[in-house]
Structure 1
Amino acid sequence: MKKILLLFTVTCIACHVFATVKLHNIFQSNMVLQRDMPCTIWGWADKSEKISVTIDNVTYKTKAGKDGSWKIVVPKHDAGGPFSVIVKGSNTIQLDNILYGDIWLCGGQSNMQFRVNEIAVKETDAQRNNNNNIRLFTAGLSTNYVPQDTLSGGQWKICDIKTIQDFSAVGFFFGRHLQENLHIPIGLIADNLGATAVETWMSNDALMTMPQFKDYYDTYLAPGKNFATVRTEFEKIKPEWEKNFYLANDPGLVEKWYDTSTNTSGWKTLQVPGYWNNDELTNFDGAVWMRRTFDLPADYKGNTFNVSLGQLDDYDITWVNGHQVGETLGNFNWRNYSVPVEYLQPKNNVIVVRIFDAGNKGGIYNMFWDPRLAGTWQYRTGAKINAADFTKPLVVNDYVFSSPALLYNGCIAPITNLAIKGVIWYQGEGNASRAEEYKTLFPAMINNWRNKFKQDSLPFLFVQLANYMQEPAMPGNSEWAELREAQAAALQLPNTGMATAIDIGEANDIHPKNKKDVGIRLGLAALKNIYDVDTAYTSPLYESMTVSGDSIIVSFSGNPELKSTDKYGYINGFAIAGKDNVFHWAQAYISNNTVVVYSSAVKSPVAVRYAWADNPGTLNLYSSKGLPVAPFRTDSLPAITAGRLFEYIP
């Protein structure tokens, strides 16, 4: 009887997975719905359940499908509000204080994630920032191999002096500029993460077409399995796999090399981090036991102590003072192990890591986030394998900052049914070493998102990287300059716009604190390129050059009125070259809204570059509206980043 009741209970639960009507978690009170275009509202319920959505006194109806999903497309609506949205099925959901306006998605890496409370000049005008017509949503972060249905979290908030503090600074200043100029509600969705590369924000199918991602795609994305499925399937085979492959024939396990009393007099040394590159280990596959000591910080009071090994290749088991504290499989995964203080002592704690290399490179190769364990380690080889005969199971292998497609699947895919006005994007630092490749990846990502949001001309505005690092003594090549060039090339796509930040960066900080001007410049690009506001303006862009004797005359698109902010009229940042392609610093002056560039070192010039450096230093060439001229070059010399592509190291 108990078995029958249990079976009945489980069956009832299975039949009523949704039980009550549920909305996708982007739909909440205080949100903004996109004006002037049909809006899809969607969620889940019981199979065939009747669903109604009422907004502005009009009701729309549908039925849930066989899988329990449902959606209703609400017709176009003018900007305005507030409204209530009432969703009915077996239960009722009411959303209040809903506005119709424009929704902008704020994507990218750390300079978009950078919060209002981190800016250099704090906002003091609380009344201006208490703006009921701006609504803020920060999406929860999530990764996966397949597109997800819902976001991992997030809450719509009304804009005020408190709620803006933890929101994207660039996003907020952009949205405020739009709202104060357009006088319509603005919804901002911050969906970004620091240190990320562009490919992790692209969908599986977009990457499938690019050869450099083939091996990664075939291994992790092609199977079409989500993280939960991969973990479940691996746990089923793990005991047998460990017995026959992973833990087999290792003297280190038999002799307990992880014990603090182990005699290490015959162990050799190597430097960490880095892939193994000595004669013994370069071609070694199997178990390598590594060991060193570490001290706790003075007067450490915590209950646990975090040991971070960063990333290593491929698998590890880690012990501290003879206690196993962690195990991780997968060479992208980050190793963070929480060690109870009762395992520890103030000084000379012994950490032992059994690193198992299943082919290709091996070692602890990235301690970027926590370098405390960097330096000299002892090592000894254990079980040796033939990598060709080793079974390497599929495991969840996730480096959130650069694993292709994973952030798209977790953070963007869940909201692609949402009607939005456009995207603002601040990213590129993570791809600077592959700037030439970015010329392909960036427009591919833009088109990818347009396809997924089902808006062929979805507006896409972006920030060109700010100046960073030290000024060069002489003209030369620059990865960041090439990345800026790759970004500007995306302007060839329709409905795009660029905010130039070449004058407001900081040499010693990759996260410049002036985000207000960045947001305003993005706002100006939106007003000019998307909203067609006559009074809006953007940075002057290079259009053409002509050679006149020993000078090059540079013209800019739209014939903008140019000015020098130097009191003597000097213009910095230009370099000029002759047929030998050797660039020399140049002098320049404004003439009839063109710039004349020359150098005594170059009698017959053929090419000119402007602001072509990681950090070109103080610039003083602006439009009369106060925006800097965007960096450019007129030559077509090979890029120093040419040929560098995404590389998957299995």
Structure 2
Amino acid sequence: MKWDGKNKSVIMKMRLKILWFMVTLLPMLVCGQIELPPIFSSHMVLPRNKQIPIEGKAEPRTTLTITIGSQSHTTKADKNGIWKVNLRPMAAGGPFVLQIEDDQGKELTLDNLLVGDLWLCAGQSNMQYTLNMLQYKETPNDNYDLPNLRLCSVWVDRDYLPRKNVSNAVWQEVSKEAARNFSAVGYFFGKDLVGEQEVPIGLISSNLGATAIETWMGMDVLKTFPQFDEVTQKIGKINKSFKTLDTELAKFRKKWDEKYYLKGPGIEEKWYEEGYDYSNWEECTLPAFWDDFGYASHDGSMWFKRTFDLDSIQLKNDVSIVLNQIDDYDRVWVNGVQIGESFGKSNFRNYSAPKEILREEGNILTVRVFDVGGKGGIYTNAFWGNSILNGTWQYKKGVSIDHNGFPQPEVANGSPFSHPMLLYNASIAPLHKLPITGVIWYQGESNESRAVEYGSLLQAMIQDWRKQWNNPQMPFLVVQLANYRQEDTQPKNSQWAELRESQMKATTLDNVDIVTAIDIGDANDIHPYNKKEVGRRLALLAKHYTYGKTLGKGPVYKKSIPSDSSITIEFETYGSLLKSTDKHGYVRGFAIAGADGKFYWAKAKVLNDTQVEVYHEEIKKPMYVRYAWSDNPGPLDLVNGNGLPAFPFRTDDFELSTAKNTYHYNPHAF
């Protein structure tokens, strides 16, 4: 097998790039014994007109003086070295210097600070995608000279309990490099905002591709939904952070490894060493559970081996060994050298083989998998190709155990993509003490199969985030899913359309609004290119809800007026008139149905500034209309005078295809 370095997932690329970014550009902000949370650093934007709480660390019982602008504060660290101060509200402006000095002469300085508005850029991959990932091509209008815009990338992490601080964060001034490695939607949103007003804008990017909404929701709000009881009750019973569990695991292993875990065939004979003859081992195809190849009753260890080759370029660097999820524990060797081990069936394995132990041909990868009940294996059938994992392996059974009598440590465990609350606890909750102006949210693709449920989850999450930020009117701006997949030849059910409807329902909450991307998607790519227009449309909403501008939004369904031969649809146009962009005046995307509820493609025409007539020659008593109700409705013509497209809708109340689908815990979920 040839290891193809190009054949990595987009998600893994994103995670590795961000990890490099964090490690090389900004270690923990520490100067001697004075520390600040990672979200506070030079170049950041502090919130305007808000009291700003800061909690840091210093030598125990030292006195500290904190100054910024005309403010000066004195505080004392407690016996644990914790100190707190509240900066008084400041008007927009800058730059400022934040100076911290203790009575021992130690100092910490944050310079080039601005005071303005903070916007959180959250969601999954369409929010996470950067200009570089999109292979964005600059235009003559791309100006990176934006001194009033600052970019902050948060290192996304997981935890069972809410953390006080994010793992790491990087604040940067805008440059071509910084902009191209930041959320594209966020960057274009912020660029548009600073282009029209003097208030500095800080963007905080905290998002991760392929994640479901429940990963971004907290324990308190999830407890209000019974479908999450299994998860909330388990985590409530554990009631420990990942850090605590890791510490306890290390202590537990001091006796457990030798007595129970690291023993039996394979360990004692050293099957992992170079030169071990495994030519008589059986063959299997991974990823898979070993139930799939005849070992359903086996608990204990199973050993897997395969070889891989590298080219001269790959040999210049360490090589990632991406094994995804393994049930339950694993230990991994390359060419006889252990490169890693993990515990927890839902956690993702991404090891690094040092270049010093690698060779061009015949590298031997050995994995010991240990299962303590249920299914065991290297099992994730990822949506991306991974040539180091997928394919033919050789395997041999190791030690057998009785899982009922085998002591099992409690371990930190959970997929970042699907396990409820983990991302919220480590990547959103730590930000609640920093006042923000609002949120832009682009997520929903991963909840497609539970589209109706999503309507309740999204609204509950918005209300909970507002509660946690102590800002009940905080603007929350949503991106509706773009057109995707091939056009339908006939009207039919669409989970994608149902998800869009659930997103639209969130706008019943005050200061929650939505932009549609129904016209700028890509049939063949779930990550459409035109993030610039998405950012511009979000900025139109932000300018209204925060900066006093007229609301700029596409037409929204208001009511239907049936007649014997047609149905007139009236839209809320927000002062901008309806029109068709088609040169012949056609209005595509409508479907119509009679009493039987069977939909047919309809004809439609703009009647006046706010109304469209919809009809079909063969339906004499039409009753229901749907518009753009499909994964990809194809070219659409109905817009307002500013070119913003009409939003999808339906006038019927038929039960939707996802109405009965709700979350259920799956220990082997991606």
Normalised-by-shorter TM-score class: 0.7 to 0.9
Residues 348-398 of structure 1 show CA distances to partners (whole Å, capped at 9, x for unaligned) of 655454433323333322252443132344555444444444433212224
Deviation at 1:518, TM superposition (A): 0.6
Deviation at 1:616, TM superposition (A): 1.8
Query: Equivalent residues in 2 for 1:143-292 (5 A)?
Result: 143-220=158-235, 222-243=237-258, 245-247=260-262, 250-251=264-265, 253=267, 260-262=276-278, 264=280, 267=282, 270-275=284-289, 278=292, 280-282=294-296, 284-292=298-306
- Residue 643 of structure 1 aligns with which residue? 661
Residues 132-155 of structure 1 show CA distances to partners (whole Å, capped at 9, x for unaligned) of 222222223333333333333333
2:348 to 317, 320, 334: 334
Q: In the alignment, is residue 310 of structure 1 matched against residue 324 of structure 2?
A: yes
Deviation at 1:285, TM superposition (A): 3.7
Deviation at 1:325, TM superposition (A): 4.6
- Residue 509 of structure 1 aligns with which residue? 525
Distance in 1 of aligned mates of 2:289 and 2:611: 52
1:44 to 57, 76, 99: 57
Does structure 2 conserve the Cα–Cα contact (< 8 Å) formed by 1:540 and 1:556? yes
Residues 189-232 of structure 1 show CA distances to partners (whole Å, capped at 9, x for unaligned) of 22222222222222333334433333334444643333332122
Does structure 2 conserve the Cα–Cα contact (< 8 Å) formed by 1:119 and 1:169? no
Distance 1:362 1:575, change over 3 A: farther
Q: In the alignment, is residue 611 of structure 1 matched against residue 628 of structure 2?
A: yes
Residues 401-449 of structure 1 show CA distances to partners (whole Å, capped at 9, x for unaligned) of 3333232233223322112211111122222233233222222222222
Distance in 2 of aligned mates of 1:257 and 1:602: 74
Distance in 1 of aligned mates of 2:186 and 2:153: 11
Residues 471-493 of structure 1 show CA distances to partners (whole Å, capped at 9, x for unaligned) of 22222222222222221111122
Does structure 1 conserve the Cα–Cα contact (< 8 Å) formed by 2:563 and 2:621? no
- Residue 151 of structure 2 aligns with which residue? 136
Distance in 2 of aligned mates of 1:338 and 1:156: 28
What RMSD in Å do the two structures reach over aligned CA positions? 3.1
- Residue 539 of structure 2 aligns with which residue? 523
What letter is aligned with 2:538? L
Q: In the alignment, is residue 556 of structure 1 matched against residue 571 of structure 2?
A: yes
Distance 1:583 1:121, change over 3 A: farther
Query: Equivalent residues in 2 for 1:554-633 (5 A)?
Result: 554-558=569-573, 561-592=577-608, 593-600=610-617, 602-633=619-650
Distance in 2 of aligned mates of 1:135 and 1:326: 37
Does structure 2 conserve the Cα–Cα contact (< 8 Å) formed by 1:99 and 1:185? yes
Distance in 2 of aligned mates of 1:298 and 1:433: 45
Does structure 1 conserve the Cα–Cα contact (< 8 Å) formed by 2:481 and 2:517? yes
Distance in 2 of aligned mates of 1:531 and 1:348: 62
Distance in 2 of aligned mates of 1:255 and 1:156: 51
Using the aligned pairs only, state the percent identity. 45
What letter is aligned with 2:83? W
Deviation at 1:580, TM superposition (A): 3.3
Distance in 2 of aligned mates of 1:625 and 1:94: 47
Q: In the alignment, is residue 29 of structure 1 matched against residue 65 of structure 2?
A: no
Distance in 1 of aligned mates of 2:271 and 2:40: 55
Distance in 2 of aligned mates of 1:234 and 1:223: 14
Query: Equivalent residues in 2 for 1:31-180 (5 A)?
Result: 31-90=44-103, 91-117=106-132, 118=134, 120-125=136-141, 128-180=143-195
Query: Equivalent residues in 2 for 1:434-473 (5 A)?
Result: 434-473=450-489
Does structure 1 conserve the Cα–Cα contact (< 8 Å) formed by 2:624 and 2:652? yes
Query: SS at the partner of 1:215?
Result: helix
Distance in 1 of aligned mates of 2:146 and 2:335: 56
Deviates most, 68-77 or 423-432: 68-77
Deviates most, 488-497 or 225-234: 225-234
Deviation at 1:622, TM superposition (A): 1.0
Distance in 2 of aligned mates of 1:163 and 1:307: 28
Distance in 2 of aligned mates of 1:98 and 1:413: 23
Distance 1:639 1:315, change over 3 A: farther
Distance 1:314 1:22, change over 3 A: closer
Residues 486-514 of structure 1 show CA distances to partners (whole Å, capped at 9, x for unaligned) of 21111122111211111111122222121
Query: Equivalent residues in 2 for 1:474-513 (5 A)?
Result: 474-513=490-529
Query: SS at the partner of 1:484?
Result: helix
Distance in 1 of aligned mates of 2:266 and 2:593: 62
Distance in 2 of aligned mates of 1:89 and 1:486: 53
Deviates most, 514-523 or 331-340: 331-340
Distance in 2 of aligned mates of 1:625 and 1:31: 35
Distance in 2 of aligned mates of 1:208 and 1:343: 49
Deviation at 1:84, TM superposition (A): 3.2
- Residue 537 of structure 1 aligns with which residue? 552
Does structure 2 conserve the Cα–Cα contact (< 8 Å) formed by 1:310 and 1:370? no
Query: SS at the partner of 1:498?
Result: strand
Question: How high is the TM-score relative to the length of structure 1?
Answer: 0.87
Residues 92-113 of structure 1 show CA distances to partners (whole Å, capped at 9, x for unaligned) of 4443333322111111222222
Does structure 1 conserve the Cα–Cα contact (< 8 Å) formed by 2:44 and 2:114? yes
Does structure 2 conserve the Cα–Cα contact (< 8 Å) formed by 1:320 and 1:352? yes
Distance in 2 of aligned mates of 1:99 and 1:619: 43
Distance 1:474 1:293, change over 3 A: farther
Deviation at 1:61, TM superposition (A): 3.8
Query: SS at the partner of 1:164?
Result: helix
Distance 1:360 1:576, change over 3 A: farther
Distance in 2 of aligned mates of 1:345 and 1:305: 11
Does structure 2 conserve the Cα–Cα contact (< 8 Å) formed by 1:49 and 1:64? yes
Residues 260-313 of structure 1 show CA distances to partners (whole Å, capped at 9, x for unaligned) of 523537x3x554334456483445444344455545468853465433222122
Does structure 2 conserve the Cα–Cα contact (< 8 Å) formed by 1:110 and 1:194? yes
Distance in 1 of aligned mates of 2:336 and 2:107: 57
Deviates most, 113-122 or 501-510: 113-122
Distance in 1 of aligned mates of 2:291 and 2:580: 53
Structure 2 unmatched ranges of 5 or more: 1-29
Distance in 2 of aligned mates of 1:335 and 1:374: 14
What letter is aligned with 1:336? N
Deviates most, 348-357 or 493-502: 348-357
Query: SS at the partner of 1:461?
Result: strand
Distance in 2 of aligned mates of 1:27 and 1:348: 48
- Residue 3 of structure 1 aligns with which residue? none
